[in-house]
């Protein structure tokens, strides 16, 4: 499987800023939903005494890690170009 990562250096300034805004929104939205879902899973694990659900509440937030990494790469490219 090929790496489908876009080379940020070839993007125009407008495309880079749009990508930054989109990644910020997606990452923040995902973080909020993961926090709520983690809280619900933790509550269910404690109230039903099915502690296997705690594995999901620990592992679930790791799913936003790729979004955070991509957002940091875009932020570094924006700072390198001096767009902020």
- Hey, what are 10's tokens? 């070839």
Cα–Cα distance measured from residue 28 to residue 25, given in angstroms and rounded to the nearest whole number: 5
pLDDT at 57: 85
Q: Are 57 and 42 in contact (CB under 8 A)?
A: yes
Top-confidence residue, 44 or 10: 44
Q: Does position 40 have pLDDT exceeding 90, yes or no?
A: yes
Residue 25 Cα to chain centre, angstroms: 9
List the chain domain ranges.
13-81
Q: What is the pLDDT of residues 60-80, one digit of tens each?
A: 888 899 999 999 999 998 898
**Dist CA 16 CA 78 (whole Å):** 7
């Amino acid at each position: 499987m090929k790496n489908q990562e876009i080379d940020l250096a070839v993007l125009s300034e407008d495309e880079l800023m749009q990508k930054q805004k989109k990644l910020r929104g997606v990452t923040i939205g995902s973080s909020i939903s993961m926090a709520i879902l983690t809280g619900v899973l933790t509550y269910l694990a404690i109230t039903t005494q099915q502690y296997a659900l705690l594995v999901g509440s620990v592992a679930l937030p790791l799913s936003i890690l790729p979004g955070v990494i991509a957002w940091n790469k875009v932020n570094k490219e924006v700072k390198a170009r001096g767009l902020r």
